[in-house]
Chain A
Amino acid sequence: MSAAQVASLSAETVTIEERTPFQIVMTRFRRHRLAMVSLVIMTLVLLITILAPVIAPFEVQELSVNKYFVPFGTVDEETGRVHYLGTDQIGRDYFSRLIYAGRISLTIAIISTLISELVGIVIGAVSGFFGGWIDNILMRFVEFMLTIPTLPLLLIISSMLLRNEELIPIPEPLLRFMGNIMLLTARDSRNAVLIIIILAGFGWLNAAQLMRGMVLSLREQTFVEASRSLGASNYRIITRDMIPNAMAPIIVDASLGLAGYVVAEAALAFLGFGIQDPIPTWGNMLSASQEFMLDRPWLPLVPGLPIFLCSLAFNYIGDGLRDALDPRLKL
């Protein structure tokens, strides 16, 4: 039954304030001060990156001839636009690039998280629910993958994939869609999509283990047996009894995962295996500025700050959610 139908049925009987689990969680979350501050910061950062085309005074690739490394707040005499954060080594507006870069970096982090949690939920649920040889095969594979040091493998795979376009064919509409989100051409968004695939390809492992553990404990719960005795199918039990009750740790894992992906993307780009200049990301801006960092220390600090802020904020939000979703804590 939809929420609207429920509401229409009960319109005349509402006398007592109803508190859904969601409302209870929100009340608890609001008490976590650092998490609330982080939420505000993240909302601001997201808003700025969403509104990038409106806010940015310059185009991403716009070169200002003969104005390399101008200081903060320099005004462009011809058009009156301001280089809030100066320009980089070839005269591109640093602030504009920073917020466009945020759009790309955050998109990669968010979509990688969504994909890896989704894959993790499905594989973990199947593995835990059906057990037996399915569980054995899936979990041994996950454990095997987890023993491999991630960063070197990420480097190898990304250099392989980024150089051989035909290795993984990605459908054109998907590229165009992703390009629209990140304000890139379909061709340029290909690398971003590949990075997402690589990051999510390793990211689902933890989520799958987490989900499997939850399903194993939920499987023994009486309400699952009750559903079975009502004649519910496995699919219904998984989607209605297992997944909603396993969401709390998954949500926490996702928010911590976001922090990890922001850093991982930056690390890949910093080492030169991520998305390449001229497309800006926080990671490759950091990477490009390292040559000049002794003379002009703000150049690495400017893209470093949002990486630091976002990963910190996502971690605090994760902490806040962990506390808020813990059913043992009464409000």
Chain B
Amino acid sequence: MRNNSSKDNYELVVVKDLVKYFPVRAGIFQRVKAWVQAVDKVSFTVREGETLGLVGESGCGKTTVGRSILRLIEPTSGSVSINGEDVIQMRAQSLKIARRNMQIIFQDPYASLNPRLPIGESVMEGLHIHNVGHPKERWDIAISMLKKVGLEDYHARRYPHEFSGGQRQRIGIARALALQPKFIVCDEPVSALDVSIQSQVLNILKDLQNEFGLTYLFIAHNMSVVEHISDRVAVMYLGKMVELADREELFRKPLHPYTQALLSAIPIPDPTLKRERIILKGDVPSPLNPPKGCRFHPRCPWAIEICSQQEPEFKELLPGHWTACWVAEQNL
């Protein structure tokens, strides 16, 4: 267990009012008929050296947040600054330089490696693009990165299809690390893996964080994984951030009804233990046409009148504990 107070409080990543709407085109002229509001005014910060867990169910926009921060998707509006530099405003050349500091680890280890490149070359790719050293040095760096994630030097000339899912995920980690970035978006890096392999990959991520002082944005939908790796946790629902707090605080005393429902859904390996489960009624509404007011109100067990009319603000209700909920605000 890591100690938060010893952490540097420098905010490496600052995301402000990030918005991403995807156009829905239809008809012969391909006119925009509607907008999918994948991410709507999301703001948060990631402190240097910490792991911010980002959770939410499928389609809530957590992956879109991760990719927009890295400009793999162009956000509709908002600002993202990494290490004091505004990533959104950057032009191609400065963005290329900035990419050295921000990397991503993907969910699907089977699709994230070029099947025609030996894995050593895949790991070297970033070094080549950024002209780091000469070919021999790049190869040495690639080998040392592979060794860091538990592979051997003779693996470097093999092709991705010769590796298992867990090994490939570690190769993906080595590739992301080769440029020695400061900030890494981990986009559900373990959800495609066997449970036995998950902890192995999580431990590698933790070890590397300690060794290189990395900052992670850890996207996941598995609460246990998030509890294991995060320092702070953010919860998203339908494109909005609903709660953000220190891990212990959030797991012990969730303020938002959605977070409470999520936490009550974590399976506990003890059949004798009875506990109250909060079952949410209905489905997640479509992000094409999200509910007015609080986006959670049609499913919320606490909903009052104001919830369907006015959107709650994302506020710091307790020190370091942010929530967007009218009822939680009143109850305090």
Binding site for B on A (CB under 8 A): 1-2, 5-6, 9-10, 13-16, 18, 20-21, 221-223, 225-233, 236, 240-241, 244-245, 327
10 closest Cβ contacts across the A-B interface?
A231-B99, A244-B116, A230-B126, A222-B111, A231-B96, A222-B112, A13-B154, A223-B114, A1-B135, A229-B104
Whether the pair A1, B111 counts as a contact (CB closer than 8 A) is no
Cβ of A15: which chain B residues have Cβ within 8 Å of it? 154
Whether B70 sits at the interface, judged by CB under 8 Å, is: yes
Given contacts A222-B108, A226-B104, A230-B129, is CB(A245)–CB(B154) below 8 Å?
Answer: no
Whether the pair B112, A1 counts as a contact (CB closer than 8 A) is no
Among B152-179, those with CB < 8 Å from A are: 153-154, 156-159, 172, 175, 179
Whether B130 sits at the interface, judged by CB under 8 Å, is: yes
Cβ of A327: which chain B residues have Cβ within 8 Å of it? 115
Cβ of A226: which chain B residues have Cβ within 8 Å of it? 104, 106, 112-113, 172, 175
Report how many A-B pairs have Cβ atoms within 8 Å. Answer: 89
Whether the pair A5, B154 counts as a contact (CB closer than 8 A) is no
Cβ of B266: which chain A residues have Cβ within 8 Å of it? none
Whether the pair A231, B100 counts as a contact (CB closer than 8 A) is yes
CB distance from A50 to the nearest CB of B (A): 32
Whether the pair B136, A5 counts as a contact (CB closer than 8 A) is yes
Given contacts A222-B112, A230-B129, is CB(A21)–CB(B159) below 8 Å?
Answer: yes
Whether the pair A222, B125 counts as a contact (CB closer than 8 A) is no
Alpha-carbon distance A225/B108, docked complex (angstroms): 12
Cβ contacts B122-135/A at 8 Å (1 or 0 each): 00111001100001
> Can you list 7 A-B pairs with a CB-CB distance of less than 8 A?
A1-B121, A5-B139, A6-B157, A13-B153, A230-B179, A231-B99, A240-B114
Whether B280 sits at the interface, judged by CB under 8 Å, is: no
Alpha-carbon distance A245/B159, docked complex (angstroms): 13
Given contacts A15-B154, A231-B130, A245-B115, is CB(A5)–CB(B106) below 8 Å?
Answer: no
Whether B117 sits at the interface, judged by CB under 8 Å, is: yes
B72, B95, B153, B172: the one contacting A10 at CB < 8 Å is B153
Interface size range on B against A? 35 or more
Whether B62 sits at the interface, judged by CB under 8 Å, is: no
CB distance from B179 to the nearest CB of A (A): 7
Alpha-carbon distance A240/B126, docked complex (angstroms): 13
Whether the pair A231, B129 counts as a contact (CB closer than 8 A) is yes
Whether B232 sits at the interface, judged by CB under 8 Å, is: no
Alpha-carbon distance A20/B157, docked complex (angstroms): 9
Whether the pair B116, A5 counts as a contact (CB closer than 8 A) is no
Whether the pair A21, B96 counts as a contact (CB closer than 8 A) is no
Whether the pair B108, A10 counts as a contact (CB closer than 8 A) is no
B114, B124, B136: the one contacting A245 at CB < 8 Å is B114
Whether the pair B158, A18 counts as a contact (CB closer than 8 A) is yes
Alpha-carbon distance A2/B118, docked complex (angstroms): 12
Whether the pair A225, B106 counts as a contact (CB closer than 8 A) is yes
Whether the pair B112, A10 counts as a contact (CB closer than 8 A) is no
Q: Which residue of B lies closest to A6 (CB)?
A: B157
Cβ of B95: which chain A residues have Cβ within 8 Å of it? 231
CB distance from B274 to the nearest CB of A (A): 43
Whether the pair A222, B106 counts as a contact (CB closer than 8 A) is yes
Known: A21-B116, A230-B179, A244-B114. 15 other contacts (CB 8 A): A1-B121, A1-B124, A5-B139, A10-B154, A10-B157, A14-B154, A18-B157, A21-B115, A223-B114, A225-B72, A225-B104, A226-B172, A231-B99, A240-B117, A244-B116
Alpha-carbon distance A304/B294, docked complex (angstroms): 79
Q: Which residue of B lies closest to A218 (CB)?
A: B114
Cβ of A227: which chain B residues have Cβ within 8 Å of it? 114, 125
Cβ of A21: which chain B residues have Cβ within 8 Å of it? 115-116, 159
Whether the pair B154, A241 counts as a contact (CB closer than 8 A) is no
Whether the pair A20, B130 counts as a contact (CB closer than 8 A) is no
